[in-house]
Amino acid sequence: MSHLTIGLTGGIASGKSLVESQFHALGVPVLDADQVSRDVVAPPSTALDEIAKQFGSDFITTEGSLDRRRMREHVFTNAEAKRQLEAILHPHIRQRLRQWLDAQTAPYCMVSVAILLEAGMNKLVDRVLVIDVPVETQKARLTGRDSISEELADNMIATQTQRHIRLKAAHDVIQNTGTPEQTLQEVTRLHHVYLDLASRRI
Q: What is the pLDDT of residues 2-48, one digit of tens each?
A: 589 999 999 888 999 999 999 999 999 999 998 999 999 999 999 99
Burial class (CB in 10 A: 0-12, 13-18, 19+), 202: exposed
**pLDDT value at position 102?**
93
Q: Say if residues 41 and 91 touch (Cβ distance below 8 Å).
A: no
Of 31-35, 95-99, 152-156, 178-182, the poorest mean pLDDT is in 152-156
SS3 label, residue 174: strand
pLDDT digits (tens, 9 = 90+) for 108-126: 999 999 889 988 899 999 9
Domain of 114, in residue numbers: 4-199
Q: Say if residues 113 and 44 touch (Cβ distance below 8 Å).
A: no
- CATH code of the domain containing 127: 3.40.50.300
Please count the structural domains in the chain: 1
Q: If you average pLDDT over residues 168-175, what whole number do you get?
A: 96
Q: Which has more confidence, 84 or 156?
A: 84
Q: Which has more confidence, 198 or 148?
A: 198
